[in-house]
Amino acid sequence: MYILISPAKTMKEERRHTPQGLPVLLEKSKLLHKHLMQMDVLQMKSLMKINDKLAIQNVERFANMRFDKAGICALDAYDGIQFKAMQIEQLGEEEWQYLNHHLRILSGFYGIVRPSDSIYPYRLEMQCRFVTEDSKNLYDFWKDTIAKELPQEEFIINLASKEYDKSVRSYISKERFIDIIFYIKENDKLITRSTQVKQARGRMVNFMAKHKVENLEELTQFAYDGYQYHAELSNDTTFVFVKEEL
């Protein structure tokens, strides 16, 4: 069983853990880096649709980018609602090892990373219209290389956004790809709220680590902030969790 999540746009430089390895697709990251290094602030701003401050920051980040084990553990580096909800600072060594084995973070720049992989701060969204001489966008650049890093016999628990799961979905058999959906029931209608979905995704990762979840039945026991598994709305490849608003 493997868990897929999206990265965060914001990153921090906290070093709670010592990196244990390098991203497996680092050679392809170096190709992206070569192109990104040729961009000035205006080009970076246009490519990423960001303000001047962020464009300057990212030009500097790519200029200082290294590909070694002296970086930051990926799970320590990413910030944002989902990662805060994981509460990784409260996890022990066994939980950390569980995540390092089961959790994978999708990335526009690194492709796919393990929690203990050494990475450096960057910004490159998967949906970014980044063109190289051999590809028209990042989905085309990565093709099936990310999916190939996921064992063919394992279930994939998809907690990633559509922007990121698009990089692997078409390369993985449908019966192995388990979508996790979080709904809020409000006035008899099922709706989604981005912030609460991100929080629930993070808490599910925390739950799986603490309970060492190894099968789909165990996953249905997840409950958080009113969210509970809804059997009638779920099927073999879509697990739905519903929270009723009072």
pLDDT along the chain (246 residues), means of 10: 96 89 97 95 94 96 94 95 95 95 98 97 94 91 97 94 97 96 94 96 98 96 96 97 87
Query: Are the C-beta atoms of 68 and 118 separated by less than 8 Å?
Result: yes
> Cα dist. 39→36, 46, 47, 220 in Å?
5, 10, 9, 47
pLDDT computed for residue 15 by the predictor: 85
Q: What is the pLDDT of residue 133?
A: 84
* Predicted TM-score (pTM) above 0.85: yes
Rounded distance between C-alpha atoms, residue 11 and residue 57, angstroms: 12
- Looking at the DSSP bridge assignments, the partners of residue 183 are 242
Q: What are phi and psi of 218, to 5 degrees?
A: -65, -35
pLDDT value at position 246?
Answer: 64
Name 221's Cβ contacts closer than 8 Å, sequence gap at least 6. Answer: 211, 229
CA 56, CA 65: separation in Å to the nearest integer? 14
Are the C-beta atoms of residues 88 and 103 closer than 8 Å to each other? Answer: no
Beta bridge partners of 227: 224
Q: Which two tokens stand for residue 220?
A: 């249905």
Query: How many of the other CB atoms lie within 10 Å of CB of 219?
Result: 22
